[in-house]
Structure 1
Amino acid sequence: MTVLRRLCAVPAAAVVALVVAAPAAAIVPPADGTYTLNEAGVPPAVWTMQSSCIQPNGTRAQSDYSDETIQSLGCVLQLSSAAPSKATREERVLNFTVRAGLVSDLWAFKVENPEGMQCPDGSTAPTTDNYAFDSATNAGTHTKIHGAVCGGQAGMVKTPFTLSFIAPLQPAVIDRFPDQCNYLAGRPSICS
């Protein structure tokens, strides 16, 4: 009974603080490998991804060197997209190579597509395609933006997509975050 009274005596603000202070999931690069892009109305494409990371330098607290989220801030994602064929406009626009970076905890990149939009008369118009996805869920959003083209107004279309893991890279990436840190102002780093 005394334990129950003590638990009931805990202020509600303390309980809320405990819930709010729960650690968020780490933001890390997606697993290096190949994925299938699944987006409604778009032919399938294969994305090949590999991250390249630069360690934080000696300007952070020692505990930050083991935090994958902080380490990921120095990462870029090399991404190559390929459709099985390039016979149609829909397949050609899926062939690109870009670098993605972290933006608001999502891996994001932009592709300028010279023939990204099909006009009613059969011609094409340029679009800017922005992709952003969460590496924990492999779900994201494809935002296609176009100017006042094809006799219409400027517009934007957002479509959700998912990535399905196919296989790891061959050869596999051995160590995404190397053990040695950078040197700062000619002094040895505090991590090794």
Structure 2
Amino acid sequence: MKLVVTRTLAAASAITAVAVGLAAPALADPPLLNGTYAGGDVLNLWTIATTCGTSGCAGTVSSNQGWTVPATLVNGLWNFKITKPDGAICADGSYAPAYISLTLDPATLAGTITTDSNYDCPGGTITQAPFQLHQVS
């Protein structure tokens, strides 16, 4: 009886060792951004505060230019949109909000800025341009 129990324990230990050895690596923590960042122009600073929990990742981006917007993590990239109400004057004289969408890679601090040449007015052309941040504090 003792021999059977010993063999059973040895087999269970071997199976456990193989299972641990073949287990997939744990997922890395989501990439957070926390601090003050600048682009080429150090006069325009962004303070970014992010966190992740059981319901996902979120944060805020605040500028020393007076705006604060929410940020979300989607497919490993931080996304946020700056909206300036009545930020554009349309050809017909009406006002429309100006939208600027940004996507930022937290690992490289490289991003893409997407704008519409007419913002929310009809007839614009959507353009994308790269940008690069660096952490200042």
State the 1:162 CA deviation. Answer: 1.1
The separation in 1 between residues aligned to 2:135 and 2:102, in whole angstroms, is 17
Determine which of 159, 166, 169 is the counterpart of 2:129: 159
RMSD: 3.4
1:47 matched to which residue of 2? 46
Q: For 1:110 and 1:135, locate their aligned partners in 2 and report how far apart those are by CA, in whole Å.
A: 16
Q: What is the alpha-carbon distance in structure 1 between the residues aligned to residue 89 and residue 129 of structure 2?
A: 17
Matched residues in 1 for 2:73 and 2:132: separation? 18
Q: Paired residue for 2:63, among 61, 81, 98?
A: 81
Percent of aligned positions with the same letter in both sequences?
33
In the alignment, what sits opposite 2:104? 133
Partner of 1:189: none
Contact 2:88–2:121 (CA under 8 A) maintained in structure 1? no
TM-score (norm 1): 0.47
Higher strand content, 1 or 2: 2
Alpha-carbon distance between aligned partners in 1 of 2:135 and 2:86, rounded to the nearest angstrom: 28
Q: Check conservation: 1:148, 1:155, Cα contact below 8 A.
A: no
Secondary structure, counterpart of 2:108 in structure 1: coil
1:142 lines up with 2:113 in the alignment:
yes
How do 1:1-192 and structure 2 match up within 5 A?
A: 27-30=30-33, 32-38=34-40, 44-54=43-53, 56=54, 74-83=56-65, 95-117=66-88, 125-145=96-116, 146-148=119-121, 153-167=123-137
C-alpha displacement of 1:74: 2.3
Deviation at 1:125, TM superposition (A): 4.9
**1:27–1:135: 8 Å Cα contact kept in structure 2?**
no
TM-score (ref. length: structure 2): 0.63
For the 8 Å contact 2:35–2:49, the answer to whether it is kept is yes
How many residue pairs match? The answer is 110
Change (3 A) 1:133 1:49: same
| Pairwise CA distance, 1:140 | 0.3
Displacement of 1:157 in angstroms is 2.0
Task: For residue 115 of structure 1, report the CA deviation from its aligned partner.
Answer: 4.9
Alpha-carbon spacing, 1:44–1:25, altered in 2? closer, same or farther (3 Å): farther
Higher RCO (C-alpha 8 Å, min separation 6) = 1
Contact 2:73-2:79 at 8 Å conserved across structures: yes
* Amino acid paired to 2:63: S
